[in-house]
Amino acid sequence: MNTFTESDERQELRRQVARLAGKYGRDYFTRQARSGGKTTDLWLEMGKNGYLGINIPEEYGGGGGGIGDIAAVCEELAAQGCPLLMMVVSPAICGTVIARYGTPEQKQRWLPGIADGTGTMAFAITEPDAGTNSHNITTTARRDGDEWVLNGRKIYISGVDEADNVLVVARTTDSKTGKLKPCLFVVPTDADGFEYRHIPMEIVSPELQFGVFIDDVRLPADALVGDEDAGLVQLFAGLNPERIMAASFSTGLARFAIDKAVAYAKERTVFQGPIGSHQAIAHPLAQSKIEVELARLMTQKAAALVDAGDDLGAGEAANMAKYAAAEAACDAADRAVQTYGGNGITQEYGMAGLLVATRAGRIAPVTREMILNFVAMHSLGLPKSY
């Protein structure tokens, strides 16, 4: 078997998703973003066709596929100019964690809605004083009889306004050691004491960012996902898929930027012949093509390792894929804007917004510097620096 070529099924999945997303396209996406609209039509059509839940087990309404399948969906959406950030969050992070660690009742309650798009779930880990350092999370959960009581604050939480529930990372007291340990709770967005406020961003996207305030939110016992003594393992189960999805998000955006720039370079004539015949234009775009294909290959490797159950190997590959994809996307967007010249920074041509959109990939969901720390420590065996 040639492991460097995706299966016929995966390639057909890509074609179908590209066709569906192409019906909407970049103009639809930016029009919705600038008018304060949403991409609900696209989201629900994706769900109806089985693409949102492609990685969810079949018995809960999904396609029974792996993280590589949902990553392919994410990438093809972005490559058509419709990067849906909630793809990373709802099916890939929340869907993976609940499918792996939820009780049968929890899976039945939440996975079908994640799969068909009618029960989107957000994910809340980042805090104002605990960005990259998740060990500093101060959101707490304490037992009160048969209930849990949550208190804390989260920041840069995507799509809370479009979600029915949020998978919140909180910390509980370990009865044996007295130390705080991470645990995962599903919190309804309409729960008493749960509030969220929009954070204005420069990214042109219909999917918004929020600050979240959790004040004495009471939850039933079964809001806890998985074993409260294995929170860290369960949390990490969602983070490798998150990095793989972020990589696919970036490579999709990069492909979109390159495709637009190449089309423009074939038509635009300034001196003699199209500008694409000049190496000053052609070489940077060719360089981006190479960088994107390398990042896609590492993303494919990371997804294959996750789907094979090799979490340790997947950690290294997923971090490398996310790093490479973000770098490739930032460079591709920059080169695309340069190809367009002055037109590249107009709203009419819609390229400049890609500079901010791709730049976010160097920051979230984990910074490039923390990935370099990870590789230095775990891949190279160098002493810890922080």
Q: Could you report the per-residue pLDDT of 57-115, keeping only the tens digit for each?
A: 999 999 999 999 999 999 999 999 999 999 999 999 999 999 999 999 999 999 999 99
Per cent of the chain over pLDDT 90 is 90
Q: Is 60 exceeded by the pLDDT of residue 349? A: yes
Continuous segment of H or E residues that includes residue 203: none
Residues paired with residue 142 on neighbouring β-strands, in sequence order: 149
- Whole-prediction pTM value? 0.97
Non-local (6+) Cβ contacts of 63 within 8 A are 50, 53, 54, 55, 56, 69
In angstroms, the CA 72 to CA 298 distance is: 13
Q: What is the tens place of the pLDDT at every residue in 208-262? A: 999 999 999 999 999 999 988 777 788 888 999 999 999 999 999 999 999 999 9
Rg (CA), the chain: 21
Average pLDDT of the chain to the nearest whole number: 96
Residue 131's pLDDT band, with cuts at 50, 70 and 90, is: confident
pLDDT of residue 173: 82
Residue 229 token pair: 């003594």
Phi, then psi, of 187 in degrees rounded to 5: -115, 125
* Under 8 Å between Cβ of 200 and 171: no
In angstroms, the CA 264 to CA 251 distance is: 20
**Quick one: which of 361, 162, 329 has its CA closest to 245?**
361
Non-local (6+) Cβ contacts of 341 within 8 A are none
pLDDT of residue 2: 57
In angstroms, the CA 31 to CA 33 distance is: 5
Q: Is 70 exceeded by the pLDDT of residue 1? A: no
Question: In CATH, what number does 123-229 get?
Answer: 2.40.110.10
Determine the topology of domain 8-119 in CATH: Butyryl-Coa Dehydrogenase, subunit A; domain 1 (1.10.540)
How many angstroms separate the first and last alpha carbons of the chain? 43
Is CATH 1.10.1530.10 what the domain over 232-379 is classified as, yes or no? no
Helix/strand/coil percent split, the chain, to 5: 55, 15, 25
H helix intervals, 214-310: 231-267, 279-307
65 burial type by CB count under 10 A (0-12 exposed, 13-18 middle, 19+ buried): buried
Residue 325 token pair: 């994809």
Residue 243 token pair: 């990095």
Classify 385 as helix, strand or coil. coil
Query: What amino acid is encoded at 251 in this protein?
Result: T
- DSSP structural state of residue 15: H
Q: Is 90 exceeded by the pLDDT of residue 382? A: yes
Mean predicted confidence (pLDDT) in 295-317: 95
Residue 3's pLDDT band, with cuts at 50, 70 and 90, is: low
Non-local (6+) Cβ contacts of 51 within 8 A are 13, 16, 17, 20, 73
pLDDT of residue 177: 80
Domains of the chain, by residue range, sit at 8-119, 123-229, 232-379
Residue recorded with tokens 């994410």: 74
